[in-house]
Chains A and B, each alone.
Chain A
Amino acid sequence: MLWAVAVLGSKACLLSLRPVRIAPATTRIVALPPVHSRTPSWTPASMPQQQFPFSAIVAQDEMKLALLIAAVDQSIGGVMVFGDRGTGKSTAVRALAALLPPMKAIVGCVYGCDPQAPGSWCEACRHVHARTPPKSHRMAVPVVDLPLGATEDRVVGALDLERALSQGVKAFEPGLLARANRGFLYVDEVNLLEDHLVDLLIDVAASGENVVEREGLSVRHPARFVLIGSGNPEEGELRPQLLDRFGLSVDVKTPIDLPSRIEVVRRRDDFERDREAFCLRWKKEEDRVRKRIVAARQHIAEVIVPDAAIERAAQLCIALGTDGLRGELTLIRAARALASLDGDGSVADAHLRRIAAPALRHRMRRDPLDDSGSGVRVERAIGNVFGP
């Protein structure tokens, strides 16, 4: 439900020639249909073309695993994918959209608030559903693509220009951050995005709330999403502060073994020729992965994290000299999600080992001139802590 802050042209406004800030006390919440209802093409369900199936991606296991973990536990804090050109970074993220099981949302809420979690509701939902229980419907988990060239007004939301021009109504038009609430926000080529937009995204991703203070609007709404970025390291390095905000960081490389390369070309070509037939062929596999995610989500709370595992994680982080406690936390969370994905009841060394590199490689105090590669350093530390 879109809400407008105030309607201009009231008597109060006529008295003054200067623009008037309407005091919050007189704020009327006006339900207006969102502008997007006319252009609903952005929902994953009606994507213009069928996406390449997630399970049909050849190799790139680390990237796929990281994305699955983020899908199981959204509190992991985002995934950053570094990689060469043409390694299927974008393909994997866009494929994730088709894989996610649908979620329940309050009918009519632009932010897709969760009917079962009143604490996370937007102001409109809190207001409207204060007494009456909300109706809910199933919707696809939003996987929102932040396209290059996006302007700030479309990202954070802004005054609805059309309504303002034609009706003189001061209405808030939610942006991409609103749409991504409870889902994923994907930024391809993060290093090409304007710096102020990147800062803004990082800030909102961390706080889970988008605060808009512009054009006389003062709006805040929930914006809890998993940020997924991708970029090519050759284009320049990302700021370390920014990198640290991502829960997992994976490096993808072009496969160099012939069978994988052949398989990549073959599947891609099959897909391009007949998308529907290709997706149909992979449907079984896709369903299997989807079930795995659903099961993992259900059982993640039951996964036991033994003290020994926490100790191991701490040892690893000390050995690598990571800053703060974020490394340990992410490592444990990711290992728990992994255990849940594997159907294991408790976190073991094997889980920590598999996820240590993506969870820690971007958190080590960085020597910009050490070209041995952070992945190698993590491997070394794993060897020292866990034994060969």
Chain B
Amino acid sequence: MKAAAASDEDRQRWSDASLAATLLAIDPAGLGGACLRAAHGPVRDRWLEMLRCVLPDPSRMRRVPAHISVDRLIGGLDLTATLRAGRAVAQTGVLGEVDGGIAVLAMAERWTAPAVALVTAALDTGTIALERSGIASRRATRFGVVALDEGIGEDEFPRVELLDRLAFLLDLTALRVDLGDEVPADLGAVARARARLSSVVVEDDVVELLCVTALRLGIASIRASLLAVRAARALAALGGRTRVEECDAASAARLVLAPRATTVPPMEADAEQAQDPADAPEDVEPPKDESGATEPSPPDEREQGERDDADSPPEDRVLEAVLAAIPKGLLDRLRDGKALAQSARSEGRVGAARASLLRGRPAGVRRGDPGGGVRLNLIETLRAAAPWQRLRHAARGGEALRRIEIRREDFHVTRFQQRTQTTTIFVVDASGSSALNRLAEAKGAVELLLADCYVRRDQVAVISFRGRGAELLLPPTRSLVRAKRNLAGLPGGAGTPMATAIDAAVELALRVRRAGQTPTLVFLTDGQANVARDGSGGRERAAAEALAAARCVRSERIMTLFVDISVRAQPQAQSLADAMNAHYLPLPYADAASLSAAVKRVGSA
């Protein structure tokens, strides 16, 4: 029974995904595209194949790697052709080449902010504006994006500004591939729908319906409503209708709005209905022949909806359709209000991803020799050599060489940002012993240090620990206001899971380092470990584990400041600090100035 329910749910997800592919083929530019969250494998390939089947011109579906250069992405100077022709020759980027088709962004979760910004700018304006290496051009291009999201876990996903512009956020993780046997609409139907698309009328009440639904689901961005309207129009076009019906709105809402829901409005009437959406024997197919029926709703519910129409306005019916599409687990979390974490999460990711792109950000070009990790900038080198070509050829005896003579003094190298970004990770002890002692003062100290970080444009992250675990209160960010807010709401009490905290800190520090930044750890604790890694009590074992974890900090050579916040300096804290090879600072003697100075010293060491 359970397996049957699970496969029903899988079938449902597949049919939604296939419908999304069809709609995308009908209006790629209008819908922006889809984010496909799935590991590399047959499921993902199956969906891409579905999309390719319904695209009018499959050759306009291009895969774009995450490491693509700006020149290839939006266009630029074609160096080879330029040198051969002796005049500037421009090349078209991939985004220009996929005009009318789909750009498939591989490993979308790894795309950096500048690269994503180029894609979103092209999506927004329908134009590629090029001002690069002596080329100025504007080229119209309308395309859809399929972002292949291979992210694992909650904090790894494509950049929010990209997701905001894509109509469909499809999650195909852990899906059985053999259930995806549904054939999406045929090419002819898609072509007819494309032709019909612009003549489909969207009445004001449909727009209102979708806006209301988005608001009730706690979706802040207006783009979501707009994308839902467009999806509804594409659905109507597919179904051969000339105006968008309520059933189109309902399907559009479940496809576009459901994955974005951050909250669920209380619905008294259908508590049990939404409790087990998987049991509902729905079968949503592309609305080919049905018309006017509220098809995503199960028949009994539809009848009910028709019976007491006065009780159940269209908003509620659409909302029901959306709720039915949200997986049960998520629905429960939304009900409990836990999904607020989702929005916080998405913000946090912005900070983290941003960090990873700062490495090797070019900061202009200067004259100099390449080598030793310094990259030659060809364009600027050519530019420098160009004026002297006649002269040099003449000096060689007037041979009309086509070759370009480049000398050492022409060499230009790309200068990269010298300053590496520092991320200061605060590890704040919120356990009972600390809270009793000086949690408030520790918070004050962190605030002072935060102000300091602001001046130095550092990123900050905050980990707090108490009871059984450590929590990443604030992922690396530059937004200090958020840091402060999170800190202010930090509760105190319970035991001190020192080892767990150190583990979490090291893990984050290494992640920061992988992103090309320099991590600095600042521990604010009394070091009185009394909770072991497995959550059990016992000072002795906890202390031993903490010491072992601390040695890990030393072996990873992470800069660390250990601020002892106990009233009297403790030998235990001192030995922990020593094991970490940390700079030890007892807070009783630390005023604001010396704290700030200590962090600076550690940071610059």
A residues with CB within 8 A of B: 8-9, 13-14, 17, 19, 35-36, 39, 41-42, 47-49, 84-87, 90, 94, 145-155, 158-162, 164-166, 168, 170, 173, 175-176, 188-189, 192, 194-196, 215-216, 232-237, 239, 254-256, 258, 261-262, 264-266, 268-269, 272-274, 368-371
Contacts and interface: CB of A to CB of B under 8 A. Distances in A.
A159 B126 contact: no
A261 B222 contact: yes
- Chain B contact residues: over half helix, strand or loop, or mixed? helix
Contacts of A269: 202, 207, 226, 229-230
Contact of B134 (A13, A17, A161, A189): A161
Contact of A369 (B139, B394, B484): B484
Task: Select the residue from A145, A153, A216 with max chain B CB neighbours within 10 A.
Answer: A153
21 contacts: A39-B137, A49-B125, A85-B161, A86-B221, A146-B131, A151-B379, A160-B134, A161-B134, A161-B383, A175-B131, A215-B383, A215-B387, A235-B113, A235-B354, A256-B215, A261-B214, A265-B225, A269-B229, A269-B230, A273-B198, A369-B447
Contacts of B316: none
A375 B288 CA distance: 53
Contacts of A233: 479
Nearest to B447: A369
Interface stretch (B5-13, B359-367, B594-602): B359-367
Nearest to A169: B387
B307 interface: no
B362 A194 contact: yes
A268 B220 CA distance: 17
B391 A14 contact: yes
A41 B137 contact: yes
A274 B161 CA distance: 26
A339 B28 CA distance: 46
A237 B479 contact: yes
Q: Return the 3 tightest CB-CB contacts between A and B, nearest first.
A: A164-B386, A147-B129, A154-B131
Nearest to B121: A148
B481 A369 contact: yes
Contacts of A164: 383, 386-387, 389
A49 B140 contact: yes
Interface residues of B, number: 86
Given A9-B390, A159-B386, A261 B221 contact: no
B126 A153 contact: no
Residue of B86, B134, B139, B140 most packed against chain A (CB within 10 A):
B134
B98 to A, nearest CB: 17
A162 B164 CA distance: 41
A239 to B, nearest CB: 8
A370 B450 CA distance: 12
Given A165-B389, A369-B450, A176 B137 contact: no
A84 B220 contact: yes
Given A49-B126, A368-B451, A371-B485, A8 B136 contact: no
B347 A234 contact: yes
B249 to A, nearest CB: 12
Given A85-B160, A264-B222, A150 B131 contact: yes
A168 B132 contact: no
Contacts of B161: 85, 232
Contacts of B30: 272
Contacts of B160: 85
Contacts of B210: 265
A215 B385 CA distance: 9
B515 interface: no
Interface string B129-157: 11111111111100000000000000000
A254 B114 CA distance: 24
Interface in B164-205: 164, 198, 202, 204
B41 to A, nearest CB: 31
B589 interface: no
B344 to A, nearest CB: 12
A51 B207 CA distance: 22
B567 interface: no
B223 A86 contact: yes
A254 B220 contact: yes
A214 to B, nearest CB: 9
Nearest to A19: B388
Nearest to B485: A371
B134 A368 contact: no
Contacts of B354: 235-236
A289 B365 CA distance: 44
Nearest to B225: A265
Given A85-B161, A150-B131, A170-B387, A165 B223 contact: no
Contacts of A196: 363-364
B222 A254 contact: yes
Given A234-B479, A264-B222, 4 more contacts: A216-B387, A261-B222, A265-B226, A274-B198
Contact of A371 (B140, B391, B481): B481
Interface in B364-399: 364-365, 379-380, 382-384, 386-391, 394-395
B434 to A, nearest CB: 22
A228 B135 CA distance: 23
B596 to A, nearest CB: 14
A48 B140 contact: yes
A87 B223 CA distance: 9
B327 to A, nearest CB: 26
Interface in B402-432: 404, 409, 417
Contacts of A175: 131
Contacts of B118: 148-149
Most chain A beta-carbon contacts within 10 A, residue among B161, B204, B211: B211
B597 to A, nearest CB: 19
Which residue of A90, A175, A194, A216 has the most chain B CB atoms within 10 A of its CB atom? A194
Contact of A165 (B86, B127, B230): B86
Contacts of B226: 264-265, 268-269
Given A9-B390, A162-B88, A48 B481 contact: no
B350 interface: yes
Contact of A161 (B202, B362, B382): B382
A265 to B, nearest CB: 5
Contacts of B485: 371
A195 B140 contact: no
B67 to A, nearest CB: 15
Nearest to B391: A13
Given A165-B386, A265-B207, A158 B134 contact: yes
Contacts of A145: 129
A8 B121 CA distance: 41
Contacts of A155: 131
A255 B222 contact: yes
Contact of A368 (B113, B364, B480): B480
B117 interface: yes
Contacts of B138: 41-42, 47-48
